[in-house]
Structure 1
Amino acid sequence: MMRAGALLGAFGVLAGSASAQESSADLAKKLSNPVASMISVPFQFNYDRGFGPEDGHRETLNIQPVIPFSINQDWNIISRTIMPVIWQNDIAGPSGSQFGLGDITQSLFFSPKQPGPGGLIWGLGPAFLIPTATDELTGSGKWGAGPTGVALKQEGPWTYGMLANHIWSFAGVDDRPDVNSTFLQPFLSYTTHDAWTFTLNTESTYDWEDDQWSVPVNLMIAKLVKFDKQPVSFTAGVRYWADAPDSGPEGLGFRLAVTFLFPQ
């Protein structure tokens, strides 16, 4: 906990006093932009059930720091990391319980600092799959890489766009299945003047090896508040699995998140 506190404190030093200069609504709207020039550290908890014949369940805490780096006066590199910590039980039949890390997904977006024609905000770059899982049932056992991109527009209170990547495996444990998957995340959000944000998205994955879709549809509500000068966003939502492999998950799940913001 002390290390986490020191890390957040370091981010706060980087942010300076900028958070006091932006309204809560402006910061909430920046959170809807995956390539905003703002450090954010989300802790996102997800619960899903219905895996396999034993009705297995999984709880996942995604730690997802987003850190922008300025290259020059025109361009940023946005680092987006997803590090899952997983608790699960009977997700592959009577497979018992596992707890530990999943595979890390690391994305880097090269993004213009100013919107393009028509207000288009975009970023392109590589995505990497890093086999950090501590159990074979919490990860793929494969190294992977591929392209990633995002494009969006922000008009008034609305934000809408799409984030996508495709990852192929190129190394790893020989007897584990290859990774060849496409991730698609269309999103639509509405932010009010008092910093409430309502978001609808999907986080769909197509597995080209098994010809299977996984399609969770998420509906979320977030509220940004400030503790002294520190902005924090709280999120709650539900998800419905519109499609998934026969082994699950299925039905309804839920999501809770806390995001610390450090505007630059």
Structure 2
Amino acid sequence: MTCLGEDATFAEMATLKSRPDLIELAWEQTRDTIPEYNYHGDVLNKYWPRLADERPEYQFHLLGAGGEILALARSIPLRWDGTVADLPKGIDGAIERGFDEGDANTLCALLIAIPHVVQRKGMSAVALAAMAALARRHGFASLIAPVRPSTKERYPLVPIERYATWRRPDGSLFDPWMRVHERAGASVLKAETRSLGITASVSDWEEWTGLEFPETGQYWFPGGLATLAVDRAKDRGSYFEPNVWMHHRL
């Protein structure tokens, strides 16, 4: 049993290369922790299925003593020269670069999902530490992450560039998920205003959000980190999710 926090423990870190049988169970137990619209990225969905088939050694699950899923994690190796200017264009750019370019020297986090039953027990920090350990094991000196700020949904009209700089009175980052990264030693590199692009019909967006969009305009929706641009004439809803690039030196 490995313990990396006051409450959080896990018995095994299993990559998809060693345990491909876990993929369906893991998605079953974590799917409802991710907003439905996030499963429909314009660029992301072109590449996502390839992670399990072509990069299984970088996808893993943390298991409890009884074999239960405690965390799901996805990542991709890519080439990065260490400068802010060379960062990919968000999560879309990261997964595209990871598959379309060679000579990877950095691991990029794509997703960490924790089942509801084990949330608020420090497991996200444990999964992040496990991802950093995986990066070191493969010889990488850096782990970068296009972090999805967990409470940005409460401030959808605040530009991500400002939100990313907010700090609490104790000096730590305001956002809880960004704070987990900071406590693990990460630094903020830059805000990414258009990290994940999602374009779909108005009816799809209404189904995903539970709202109606009667006219063309900008709309807030539950869980959104920014507003949704609706064009009724073109029957199109366009959303660009912002992220914040953070860097772990390993």
Question: What TM-score, normalized to structure 1?
Answer: 0.27
Which structure has more helix as a fraction of its residues? 2
Question: What TM-score, normalized to structure 2?
Answer: 0.28
